[in-house]
């Protein structure tokens, strides 16, 4: 029911928290990559169009039969949209960094033009899925990144 939302929660399975492109790349490579991604998104949040501080978000598709997580895209997200994507972590950070959880919920409702009930429903669905997926080990498929990298290197001519 909540699949039509523009801004959704995408929790990375606990068994897979260290499976991400960012931690595999050297800082310089990651920095180059995220600059490419910000430019691709016209220096705006890919979800709510807001400008300001951007984060490079990895979009994964999970194959629940084969337990393969495939990187499908990299997008620029504003801080709020990015925290909503990882709202499980936001729960930890709200106490640490005083990032208001309520502010995030408001942002979610505004971007999706929905009410609190829709948020709560979507959140519990996302956590249910997360619990299920956290029971398995996941294999990463990074072919998308390899293509971007190849393209980028050729495009720069260096």
Instruction: Choose between 58 and 69: whose C-beta lies nearer to Zn ion.
Output: 58
Tell me how far, at minimum, the Cβ of 45 lies from Zn ion, in Å: 3
User: What are the C-alpha distances in Å from 27 to residues 7, 23, 31, 43?
Assistant: 28, 9, 6, 20
Instruction: Write the CB contacts of 104 (distance below 8 Å, at least 6 apart in sequence).
Output: 80, 83, 84, 87, 90
For residue 74, which phi and psi values (nearest 5 degrees)?
-125, 130
Instruction: Choose between 82 and 133: whose C-beta lies nearer to Zn ion.
Output: 82
Residues 71-90 close enough to bind Zn ion by CB under 5 A: 78, 81
45 is a contact residue toward Zn ion (CB under 5 A):
yes
Tell me how far, at minimum, the Cβ of 99 lies from Zn ion, in Å: 14
Binder among 5, 25, 48, 105 for Zn ion (CB under 5 A): 48
Give the Cα separation of 58 and 72 in Å (integer): 8
Per CB under 5 A, residues contacting Zn ion are: 45, 47-48, 50, 78, 81
């Amino acid at each position: 029911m909540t699949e039509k939302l523009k801004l959704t929660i995408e929790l990375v399975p606990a068994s897979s928290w260290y499976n991400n492109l960012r931690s595999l790349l050297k800082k310089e490579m990651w920095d180059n990559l995220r600059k490419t991604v910000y430019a691709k998104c016209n220096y705006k949040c890919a979800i709510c169009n807001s400008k300001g501080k951007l984060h490079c978000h990895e979009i994964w598709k999970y194959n629940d039969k084969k337990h393969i997580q495939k990187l499908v895209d990299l997008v620029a997200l504003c801080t709020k949209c990015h925290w909503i994507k990882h709202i499980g972590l936001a729960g930890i950070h709200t106490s640490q960094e005083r990032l208001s959880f309520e502010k995030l919920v408001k942002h979610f409702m505004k971007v999706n033009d929905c009410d609190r009930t829709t948020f709560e429903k979507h959140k519990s669905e996302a956590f249910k899925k997360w619990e299920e997926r956290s029971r398995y080990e996941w294999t990463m498929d990074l072919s998308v990144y390899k293509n971007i990298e190849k393209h980028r290197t050729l495009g720069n001519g260096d």
